């Protein structure tokens, strides 16, 4: 069997409690060449078996499949300029921010939010002090810089919370509505959505036994607490999808964006930025760095993204290859980091099999 070593690595990961549930989709030269589910929803032998089309919480893969994709569409339609000032589009970014940073905040652009070089911090537990979508968004607007804008690439959930709201305003509708009509429906990603229907929650692997914030098992609702306070729809997290749907999105990117993006826009957004010096970031997307979760074979033109729950998508236009790996490595309590060893080995095994 062509991918037997790759499959064995996933089975070994389950045995080592890197994650209880996983699914894999591989596309190569326009064809779906591997699709399989692994393990069970939890480590309990009586829990549900994972199918190839089981839906997972994508976590930060939302940043590319929803938020960045919306930015690309609005850019194509001339409704978004990359070097527009965030302050012009979102006056609260300056009005609510620290007064001493007001001048710096006016220099932040959409491009900086997309490339994680705005100077905003990686993560803040805004959910601990806010109780509604509006409150959390205002807290994100007020979040102080940790670096001068443009000086350093610092992966930032906060930046993407702001970006999601800016894009929704430019699109004149919420992210979940726009993405469904303009991205998921045209690509026949029929099981991709924010906030899966309540009746489907039991068909989705749980991510966590949350004993500190929500005090319940999190299943079929967004794992990320900030996104939870935002009612499950945010620029940084909230999307749910099965591996075949993610693979459909990857194939769209490999086709140069057809039928939803312009080829030049795909090229622009997936090309590594030249500033700040040493960044691995493209616009929304990441590119292979040393060492990379995509392993040692993916070309320098590759682009991808990871999700906190144990999800990843890597796309290599030179090899015409995409690898979607979904899991719930955060079950039951976020403590396992073993997936970090699985990811590069898995990608290497897939390329070697091809």
Closest among 313, 330, 311, 332 to 321, alpha carbons compared: 313
Burial class (CB in 10 A: 0-12, 13-18, 19+), 176: buried
**Is residue 95, in this structure, part of any structural domain at all?**
yes
| 105 located within any domain | yes
User: pLDDT value at position 340?
Assistant: 96
237, part of any domain? no
Does residue 85 lie within any of the structural domains? yes
> Does a structural domain hold residue 320?
no
Per-residue pLDDT at 303: 98
Question: Who contacts 120 (Cβ-Cβ below 8 Å, separation ≥6)?
Answer: 143, 145, 146, 154, 156, 158, 159, 162
CA–CA separation, 338 and 342 (whole Å): 7
Instruction: Give 181's DSSP letter.
Output: I
Where in the sequence is the domain holding 121, given as residue range(s)?
Answer: 69-175
Averages of pLDDT over runs of 10 residues in the chain (354 residues) are: 97 98 98 98 98 98 99 98 98 98 98 98 98 98 98 97 98 98 98 98 98 98 98 98 99 98 98 96 96 96 98 98 98 95 98 98
Give the pLDDT confidence score for residue 188 in this predicted structure: 98
Under 8 Å CB-to-CB from 175, ≥6 apart: which residues?
A: 66, 67, 70, 164, 167, 168, 194, 233, 234, 235
pLDDT the model gives residue 30: 98
Beta-carbon contacts of 227 under 8 Å, excluding residues fewer than 6 positions away, are 233, 234, 236, 237, 238
Q: How many domains does the chain have?
A: 1
pLDDT at 98: 98
pLDDT for 124 equals: 98
């Amino acid at each position: 069997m062509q991918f037997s070593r790759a499959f064995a690595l996933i089975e070994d990961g389950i045995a080592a409690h890197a994650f209880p549930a996983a699914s894999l989709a591989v596309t190569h030269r326009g064809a779906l060449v591997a699709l399989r589910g692994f393990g069970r929803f939890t480590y309990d032998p009586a829990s549900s078996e994972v199918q190839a089309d089981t839906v997972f919480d994508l976590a930060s893969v939302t940043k590319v499949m929803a938020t960045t994709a919306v930015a690309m569409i609005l850019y194509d339609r001339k409704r978004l300029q990359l070097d527009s000032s965030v302050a012009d589009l979102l006056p609260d970014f300056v009005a609510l921010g620290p007064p001493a940073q007001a001048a710096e905040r006016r220099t932040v652009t959409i491009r900086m939010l997309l490339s994680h070089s705005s100077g905003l911090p990686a993560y803040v537990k805004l959910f601990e002090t806010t109780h509604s979508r509006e409150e959390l968004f205002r807290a994100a607007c007020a979040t102080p810089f940790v670096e001068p804008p443009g000086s350093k690439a610092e992966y930032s959930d906060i930046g993407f919370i702001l970006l999601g709201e800016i894009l929704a305003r430019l699109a004149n509708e919420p992210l979940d509505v726009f993405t469904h009509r303009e991205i998921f429906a045209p690509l026949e990603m029929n099981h991709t959505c924010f906030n899966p229907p309540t009746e489907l929650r039991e068909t989705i692997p749980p991510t966590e036994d949350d004993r500190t914030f929500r005090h319940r098992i999190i299943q079929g609702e967004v794992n990320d607490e900030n996104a939870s306070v935002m009612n499950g729809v945010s620029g940084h997290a909230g999307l749910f999808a099965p591996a075949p749907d993610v693979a459909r999105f990857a194939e769209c990117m490999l086709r140069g964006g057809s039928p939803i993006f312009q080829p030049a826009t795909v090229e622009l957004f997936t090309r590594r930025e030249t500033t700040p010096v040493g960044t691995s970031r493209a616009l929304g997307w990441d590119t292979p760095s040393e060492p990379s979760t995509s392993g040692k074979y993916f070309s320098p033109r590759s682009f991808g993204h990871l999700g906190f729950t144990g999800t990843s998508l890597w796309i290599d236009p030179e090899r015409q290859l995409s690898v979607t790996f979904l899991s719930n490595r955060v079950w039951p309590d976020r403590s396992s980091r073993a997936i970090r060893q699985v990811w590069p080995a898995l990608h290497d095994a897939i390329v070697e099999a091809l």
